[in-house]
Amino acid sequence: MAALPSLSAQDSTSRVVALRTQHGAALLGIPRDGLRLAWRAESDDAAARLIGYQLASGDRDSALVEAEPVAGAAVGAGVAAPPSGQRRAFAVRVATSAGWSPWSAPLVVEAGVDGPELAAQVIGIDTPADGPVQLLRREFVLERAPESARLRLSALGLVDAWINGVRAGDALLTPGWTSYQRRILIDTIDVTALLRAGQNVIVLAVADGWYRGSFGFARRTAIYGDRTGALAQLEADGETVLVTDAAWRGGFGALRSASIYDGTVTDLRRRDPAIHEPGFDDGAWTPAAVIPVDPARFEPRSAPPVRVVAELPMTPSSHAGRVRLDGGQNISGWVQLVVRGRAGEVVTVRHAEVLEPSGDLHVSALRTARATDVYTLDRDGEHVLEPAFTFHGFRYADVEGADVVSATAVSISSDLAPRSSFASSHEALDRFHANVFWSQRDNFVSVPTDCPQRDERLGWTGDAQAFAATACTLMDAEAFWMSWLRDLEIDQTDAGGVPSVVPDIIRTEDMLMGGVPTENMGRAGWADAATIVPFAAYEAYGEVEVLTRQLDSMRRWVEHLRRRAGDDVVLPGGDFQYGDWLDPDAPGERPWEAKVSSDFVSNAFYAHSARLLARAERLVGDAARGADDDALADRVAAATFARWGEEAILTQTGAALAVEFGIAPEERRREIAAGLAANVRRENGRIATGFLGTPLVLFALSRYGHLDEAYLMLLRREAPSWLYQVDRGATTVWERWDAILPDGSIHSGAMDAVPTEEADREEGNMLSFNHYAYGAVIDWVYRNVAGLAPHEPGYAVTRVAPRPAVGLDSASASIQTPYGSLAIDWRLRDGVFEAEVEVPFGARAVLDLPVTDGSVVTVASASASGGEVPAELGHGIHRLTVTAPRIAQPVA
């Protein structure tokens, strides 16, 4: 390790940028536990090397105290958090071989407050489930306008706050969905600008949300409790000036019902703007009651909240006497309408993802979700209409009841920054990449849901683990996953079993598979999210914190599997498994009946989870336990392949698992990959994998050089394929490969699965046009088409390995790594491969270029022939050429 320079040595060519915490750039009131800073450094000196850093911290109003310098090329460090509710400033500078950079601009970090530290109590008034949204109100006096004010806000249910008639903050669906029985989030909102000297008023609107509303495909109510209420504490200049308690009063307003599945009913005739002004006579309102709740359930938010992330103009037309609106993109959110109507008119807005061949909205896939917003106008003239405490999955909407002046599709999501970009010469592949991004955006709404439209919208663990690697490339999702994984651990059983959905609201009697009540705990490929998702985050962001926090959960899951296997080494058959869910060749109504044996699949994931746990033990746990887990994985893999392997490898998913999870003996894997390639050639690239095989199949092909077949599969246009969806006009990823059939009709979605009690429900209908699971292929696209992949966790060392193909002769991509922007722009020009590669400061890149025996490689001013390439690249922009490159031939 290089020696640090003298503290007086200055490097004016280098600088620190983008200092932040692991919770994001702008989150107020963060948790105090495990605070970590992250930064990026830049340098104009091509010869500079990152060799150390120095932190400084202290009160933001005084000089910062410098800590001892630290050697190493780190771009993050743990620090002491400020006391609860307090702020602390941090700065960092980095050392290079030339000296010390200037100090970064200070980052002010503000700690949140845990529930037991709050004086506020949860309050509410009696309301029926799915009934009117309660309004809680209190007036208060301030002697002067504060210099700084914070509102701590949470709820049993969902809550919005207004101070003096202005909405406090821009977060939606507050406090979000967590495992409420143990963990409810507290938002901290800067409300300084909303307060004034003299009389003030605060109003809290509280809806059922996930806490009490009708939710899950069994449409249970009061899943977490039968009373909703709000928790709020207002602090001004460091003093608590107002808390929720029995002195508040409650009533009702215009919002007559608000359901996540069904939408809202709003009667504007009941709206009274005076509620938001001091002096309103609330004497007829009900006194609020304190709702007993353990304060320890409340904790500060640790990941970005849900916000509006895009607004898309909707194009109107006429259909069957209604106004048809088309936003051009399938989203999660709602329609903001400007209408012109008369007092008493009822405006109805119905939503759908796609249209029937007849042109009507396709609503059968919604099952019991009404996905309808209804408004009653209170006066003649123009109105701006918008729902609250709900969201819909839709591209189209039909409006009845008034003249539409304009319409906007409002897109919402957990507010995660985009992390990457991709473009190529293949228009359909680019559109599919965009579709995957939109499906992630639409389904990362507080938790990683399966779909945003029907009566489900649950955090399915199988979908999450399949997509986690892609999710971490497309968005800055580290804090999002860390939060969700905490709920996964909370919802683990005492015996270590992991549920199929997190937060877990499924009961055995809720889920019938083949007419049989089915336990949702411990299902292979779903429960393994306990090990797979933490490693996806670690690989993408390079921080061991996620492994440290989840190590006990990972141990409990693998031990659960070990106990189930008993003396037989492998898991016993007979338990229901989802298997390679939605294999395109499975019976449409029984999607768990895939070609590959579910026993092979379950034990392959058992071995894989044991191997991941072994890696985690070596990194952050007990190396001896890691050796034991590796030995366990070897035993399970060997027994699994001996019992089921020869039959399993005849299927695409079985072969991919055997290769990628190391289930087959090492000396057999190349042969198995060749057999998989032959299968793909015979089928002309036809996909024959479901949720579990799809993320692995292209990797199994490319690992042993079968790029022709990998591209044949990736670029196929006929059903089933990724690009078939694009050719059918998809703007997000489908749940079923053939959701729209080649003749233009819509798949029935019939499934012999979940129960029904409602007469208007189509039993077992399972059809979504917005599922991200099959979008997991985008991880392969970044690593192989673009050629950017972490060679070491967090991209400290990057593997640059682009693979051109016939029909795909240029691509560009970028990823915002912890070190900065990693980017590539390559093209084939007159039979020569040309690329420009940007490597961020502090990182290195290992080259794996598409060479043949006849290639000549040029890297900047250095050249090599015979296929030899430089070992690695340092930071900066590098221009590469390869003559006679290897070009994949995606032909059957």
Parallel/antiparallel/unpaired status of strands 403-414 and 322-341? antiparallel
The residue among 781, 783, 799, 810 whose CA lies nearest residue 873 is: 799
Distance (Å, rounded) from C-alpha 845 to C-alpha 837? 9
Distance (Å, rounded) from C-alpha 720 to C-alpha 722? 7
Buried b / exposed e over 356-372, threshold 16 CB at 10 Å, is eeeeebbbbbbbbbbbb
Which residues are 847's β-sheet partners?
800
Cα maximum dimension of the chain: 89
Q: Which two tokens stand for residue 243?
A: 């808390």
Task: Say which DSSP state 365 is in.
Answer: G
Q: How buried is residue 277: exposed, middle or buried, by Cβ count under 10 Å (0-12/13-18/19+)?
A: middle
Number of H helices, E strands in the chain: 15, 47
Query: What are the residues whose beta carbons fall under 8 Å from the beta carbon of 605, sequence distance 6 or more?
Result: 524, 525, 528, 661, 692
Please indicate whether residue 735 is annotated as part of the active site: yes
State phi, psi for 273 to the nearest 5 degrees.
-55, -25
Distance (Å, rounded) from C-alpha 782 to C-alpha 546? 23
State phi, psi for 470 to the nearest 5 degrees.
-65, -45
Q: Which two tokens stand for residue 239?
A: 């003093």
State phi, psi for 257 to the nearest 5 degrees.
-165, 150
The size of the chain, in residues, is 892
Q: Which two tokens stand for residue 311?
A: 């607004």
The residue among 873, 798, 173, 65 whose CA lies nearest residue 457 is: 173
| Calculated CA dihedral for residues 68, 70, 74, 77, nearest 10 degrees | -40
**Position of tokens 């060392």?**
797
Distance (Å, rounded) from C-alpha 24 to C-alpha 419? 13
**DSSP of 413-459, one letter per residue?**
EE-PPB-EEEEES-HHHHHHHHHHHHHHHHHEESEE-S-SSSS----
95 membership: H or E segment, kind and range: strand 87-96
Parallel/antiparallel/unpaired status of strands 50-58 and 70-71? antiparallel
Query: What are the residues whose beta carbons fall under 8 Å from the beta carbon of 738, sequence distance 6 or more?
Result: 584, 719, 720, 724, 747
SS3 393: strand
Buried b / exposed e over 655-694, threshold 16 CB at 10 Å, is bbbbbbbbbbeeebbeebbbebbebbbebebbbbbbbbbb
Distance (Å, rounded) from C-alpha 795 to C-alpha 788? 9
Please indicate whether residue 666 is annotated as part of the active site: no
Among residues 478, 709, 735, 762, the one annotated as catalytic is 735
Query: 10 Å Cβ neighbour count for 182?
Result: 16
State phi, psi for 783 to the nearest 5 degrees.
-80, -25
SS3 186: strand
Is the bond preceding residue 175 a cis peptide, omega within 30 degrees? yes
Among residues 42, 110, 353, 456, the one annotated as catalytic is 456
Query: What are the residues whose beta carbons fall under 8 Å from the beta carbon of 733, sequence distance 6 or more?
Result: 432, 435, 436, 439, 725, 770, 771, 772, 773, 774, 775
Distance (Å, rounded) from C-alpha 112 to C-alpha 28? 7
SS3 637: helix
How far is CA 669 from its chain centroid? 33
Distance (Å, rounded) from C-alpha 288 to C-alpha 594? 55
- What positions carry a catalytic annotation? 456, 735
